[in-house]
Structure 1
């Protein structure tokens, strides 16, 4: 594995690469991965926001927790911890939309054939360690959280990948070993979290939708659903012509997956009918509306005891370029 140090809009960016893939990691932005590419043809697999990685120190207007999150969101691959979705007040302080880990400054070092990032959160009593390694076309991420406080903490934890580029298009396919799907009532009319359906069906905004096929960018559609009951925690996404593909696998300690598809359905801020991406988020709980809603709707929050350490693993395998 090679590591190249770059400067992008005043941010230090580390480019990890081997013979098959490269990824760009921003240590001072919680180890966010802003790019994942197949080296043989430079195919891009992640989605970037229209503003991308804004210049470091750029001004932001006051606003809601979600607005502040969007201001600092470049797209790509981020850790959601210790909260997922809407802000939650815990221990007397707001944890913010998608939590604090995605913004935490992480120091970095090279450990053999791996990049190791470490840092301390401020609004919750945790240290975070992220270890990236490249193994023959696979990106392996080991994440460790450690409760350094003297109290047990209730939380949510996940890893969100916003997929786009050459991977996502009209007719892209999604395959998974999940067997059940919960709709999100905020995006599915006349439903509740209890309206269970078999994969790949889910309640959409207007009718039942097939989650295994992606709509085009002008479909005027937003999907949000929660997958569960995996045989093996895995999802495969392929481009319409099947020339670009990605396998996502993760640790069984994360039993759920958020499936979020934006295809021009979000009017107004932040996408103004031009958002087009598939976000997949394996994690400890659901729905994507903050800690308190996860406790109320599904009882899927997680408790971490004082001095307890948890580690989980995510793997991404980029499919090789097909022989023509």
Structure 2
């Protein structure tokens, strides 16, 4: 992390500070409405997305909390536990393998491998009362991939913007799955929450209402987004919700994962009531080799750089009334 120990102190408007969570470097971006904590030493995870007016964190924090990947579990590990043993909930970058362990182009990938478990470099690129931004950078270890990701908050806005570049640093083409593993749970998510999608999205069944506790776990792969993908997930009683938008020319699919407390064994033990709404290039959750086989993986040409943008915006009718 690039520390700037002598930057002017500020506790108003947009601001940021470096901190440590459980021995890991983290950076906090904050304005009058949002506080966003990013774990630089663990995948660049968004571990906190707190809307201050309601003291509401939109991303799920698992019952096990944040765990440092350097703290290895005492039991036997495997390519699934490599991700789950340190999964705190939140919002992960998934690249180049989505879902289960997979082997492709001579590489063996663990679940959601590999950048979600790596430390990222951090540079402060804007630090002003009207705007703060930090740039995270990582290189994968098993594939010739480099990711540059910039988080940005503007004063007075309840929107987090993310702009990325994914580069294939090799002279040969590579196939990848690329996604954002965004999961909603406590304290925000409850039965009856509404999910709104663009007209024309192919879902296969009605997925617009979050089921009750104990409903079967499942996963769906949604297609048919236009150039701009988006969804909204809202509490119909309070009208509080989050709208996520992204470049659907890059992430063409949306994974909708529902774990509603029905799994009473590892890894959830009946403690997870969550819905994941995850923009993705590639499906299904069986991993990269299957995504390549079905033609849904993203292919990067030699030395190609692919840009991507995402926006996460709080929706709050009370905020509008008080504006």
Do both proteins adopt the same fold according to a TM-score greater than 0.5, normalized to the shorter chain?
Answer: yes
Q: Does structure 1 conserve the Cα–Cα contact (< 8 Å) formed by 2:168 and 2:300?
A: yes
Q: Does structure 1 conserve the Cα–Cα contact (< 8 Å) formed by 2:69 and 2:86?
A: no
Question: Is residue 306 from structure 1 mapped to residue 320 from structure 2 by the alignment?
Answer: no
Candidates 64, 69, 83, aligned match of 1:69:
83
Q: Does structure 2 conserve the Cα–Cα contact (< 8 Å) formed by 1:264 and 1:276?
A: yes
Candidates 219, 230, 238, aligned match of 1:242:
238
What secondary structure sits across from 1:292 in the alignment?
helix
What secondary structure sits across from 1:133 in the alignment?
strand
| 1:32-78 deviations in Å (ceiling 9; x for gaps) | 01010111121111111221211462122333311221012111011
Candidates 273, 286, 308, aligned match of 2:270:
273
Question: Is residue 284 from structure 1 mapped to residue 281 from structure 2 by the alignment?
Answer: yes
Unpaired runs of 5+ residues, structure 1, are 183-196, 202-209
Aligned ranges 1:88-107 → 2 under 5 Å: 88-107=102-121
Q: CA deviation at 1:295?
A: 2.6
Unpaired runs of 5+ residues, structure 2, are 1-13, 127-131
- TM-score normalised over the length of structure 2: 0.87
User: Which residue is 1:37 aligned to?
Assistant: 50
Candidates 313, 318, 321, aligned match of 1:317:
313
Q: CA deviation at 1:280?
A: 1.0
| 1:97-139 deviations in Å (ceiling 9; x for gaps) | 1121111211111112311011211111111111000131111
Q: Does structure 1 conserve the Cα–Cα contact (< 8 Å) formed by 2:102 and 2:286?
A: no
Give the distance between the partners of 1:132 and 1:293, measured in 2 at CA: 31
Q: CA deviation at 1:278?
A: 0.8
Cα RMSD after superposing both structures: 1.7
Q: Does structure 1 conserve the Cα–Cα contact (< 8 Å) formed by 2:69 and 2:117?
A: no
Candidates 165, 173, 183, aligned match of 1:144:
165
Candidates 213, 216, 223, aligned match of 1:228:
223
User: Which residue is 2:24 aligned to?
Assistant: 11
Candidates 32, 50, 75, aligned match of 2:63:
50
Aligned ranges 1:110-189 → 2 under 5 Å: 110-112=124-126, 113-135=132-154, 136-177=157-198, 179-181=200-202
